[in-house]
A and B are shown apart, each in its own frame.
Chain A
């Protein structure tokens, strides 16, 4: 029983080692990977159905520092594990036909894939903060190796930016863990509760945790690595790590910090909610003006994180459940959307919306899935995105922040607008020359996408099912900071009534009426007529209307337009600000001091020596 807990860490690790050691034989290794992921998915379901398991294995003992390697599968962590392996399994099927790992040219792709799974399971299962940190840093290191597989296009600058931000976040995490150890003497998650009002260092430690989690999840102001890396990394890696697993990891850590490790004062909750709301609105504006599919999706990946942060920061049960549910939903539809983009890129060779168009004939299955996923991310009822957003809104209302509510709803509307543009530009609007030779994508690619889309439908229409099975059983008594509110066993929270089945019926009726109107319109015939000018047949070179210019008018708005333009050129990117204003100057000054002249060096020695003597003699 106890050893069950080691499986999700050890099995993918060993399988990864195996794929690394065995040379060539690609197909065989793919089969192994799929089999391992399938088994792990089965295992994840089993673990989820079992009651809580705790097992202690060994102790890291560094003189006075002790950290017990305790694994604990409570409801929340086995839920996380279940979804980790769900994504793992789907993506392991998807990559069989994806070109990403063929392009990487060597056998490390599958190894890093499996090791990432092992590391993520380690984070979720560890009941000791130290091991959470260890696994967390391993994931960052593997991600570094992973992204480097994308060949050629990856500029040194964007890679550096990513690792600077993630590395800084990891350093902040390390600082926080060290502080907790020093002040409480333990790193066992269940035993820690630090009051942020106690002192300045406690506050710094709290924000260190927040920084680590929001950098991983990708919220403002530490989000800038996601759009940058999305242009270069293999798209299946994007779907797997930043879109799915990093959300799980970041939000998991955020909820630990906000709800468990720290007692948060109201001002800080407000700041975190502000971060959430600002993330929603700014990132979605940025998404509106993008014309590269990957980058657009990356900005939506950031925008959605805002809802999760907003929900968790409310600290009410409905808000927290909404935030966690939104995390799952977002991972489902966001990785689905990235996989759609991957299929499009593989078949057409581009993700530039300008060059795409009229794909609906070539990939009908992907189109249907993509529409469902897009509606889900936009929060259109009855899909899953709506349910979780709805719960977040209720949480925000319960803590009395109508401004944030308004921003969140507005953001949701803009998301819909942005995805209308995507669907139109990619699938409709006339066939572009780039897609004329496109073939239907392999079923190995479209089936994982469809499964994700179906999940979106199920989680939306039967929303009481996931909420009741996944989130209600979470033992909120453990989260000492959640304001308790009497829960009913369905979605009718205090004032948050939403009945998905009723709404679905209404929507289906609406759709049927729409279809009838469309069919009535088809009754009347129309004909096509060539255009003549001055007696000559007039041929347009390209008779299509790409949707990329759809929202560019917002760039001309006063203030907002200027802000977006500046932001798009990186002017508000904290990384650039620090880099160009302070950083380079300091380094330049230091380099100037190292001028290679012996007398300069000797004079430093003399000055240093005099200071030492002065200090010693002055005591």
Chain B
């Protein structure tokens, strides 16, 4: 028997439950019955101890991905803008650290609509996760901080939705996002998308108003040349409403802004 090397490893690990020389694991009898199987014997044994602590499969791995859903140039009557909207996550099937970030460099060259979130994500149902954490509005305007709680997932009929509520000493806010992939072919995909922001109180310095403050929506046609690299073209519309529209008008900004868009959707 030339099993010495392995036997040695087992011995070195010093596991009480490994039988030296054979590397055979065993389970020790014990008290508690568990109940996944019907008709358990009365004295159900204790948990199995795996040799050298080796798990036969690694089903609790951590995965990490980042998606830049929008990474695009926008061209309209007033000139060009740049916009990005991305998410990244890091974690297991059930628990993840979830980061979101979006922002627009406007025709005036200023970075606006800068919204950055760090969330703890917990899978709660077949298609939905609950997310809690913080949102920071960081851009060329004044900085704001919010607590955030929301859900993200796949509604019926494959609609991707995000609904998040935000709270701070300035009141509450809400954001709804949705998108849907229409497969023209298996690689040519038309995606309508919309994002709406609501606020309970206006914030003149950031140009947001009570109620529905702004909408950013688009219709993008992407080609999944590679799953992780899809150039697209489309049209996007962003608009402000109510008080926010008044504020925009007072600053001589466009209330309704329609743009031709092209960009790249990519993930890693």
- Tell me whether A and B are bound partners: no
Mark B residues whose CB is within 8 Å of A: none
